Chains A and B, each alone.
Chain A
């Protein structure tokens, strides 16, 4: 299989602070990782595609300056929510593509639940 970890699993922060979420592929190298956001009882909304060694590709409507993505190595991508506000409270999930497989599915991290007070 393929294991993707995410840290932290839960975070509570004050409005105006920044929060960094890490996504790691533990047993494979991932050139591409995706960041999703999910509201309660809703589906996953793709925020951005994170590519190792290059700038992230953001989906329409997602603020690049607010959601900073850095794919520093083949096993680590980070999402930083800058100047967080209560409306940023959500479930953030990363996924990584394991290359070289016939069916290139994405493997999801366990998610990070962010609550901004």
Chain B
């Protein structure tokens, strides 16, 4: 199984940068995903890492180190609409039992203040 840890809450001001860390312990690994979830809505996909390194996508970047079991999501030029919960998820390898399922961290609530 997976054990996924991320901070509960982070606060930052508009225009700033925030880095959300995620550590995981895994028995199988087939990618790390970040999702954004606004209150009362379903999560939406932000980024995916399967190899070590940095993936950049506009204002959002995600980093992975498989040897350290560590990832971070970097949000730059924060906007008020970025206030949301950010979920780190690890995908299992495909097995007869697992079907490549996703395990989620508890989520990090990011609060952007004016």
Contact = CB atoms under 8 A, between A and B. Distances in A.
Task: Tell me what chain A mostly uses at the interface: helix, strand, loop, or mixed.
Answer: strand
Contacts of A105: 33, 45, 48
B50 A46 contact: no
Task: Tell me what chain B mostly uses at the interface: helix, strand, loop, or mixed.
Answer: loop
Interface string B37-49: 0000111110010
Indicate the size class of the contact surface on chain A.
20 to 34
Given A43-B87, A57-B97, A106 B42 contact: no
Interface in B55-114: 87, 91, 97, 99-107, 109
A93 B57 CA distance: 26
A85 B20 CA distance: 37
Given A34-B101, A41-B109, A106-B102, 7 more contacts: A43-B87, A43-B105, A46-B103, A57-B97, A103-B50, A105-B33, A108-B43
Interface of A: 32, 34, 41-46, 49, 51, 57, 93, 97, 103-111
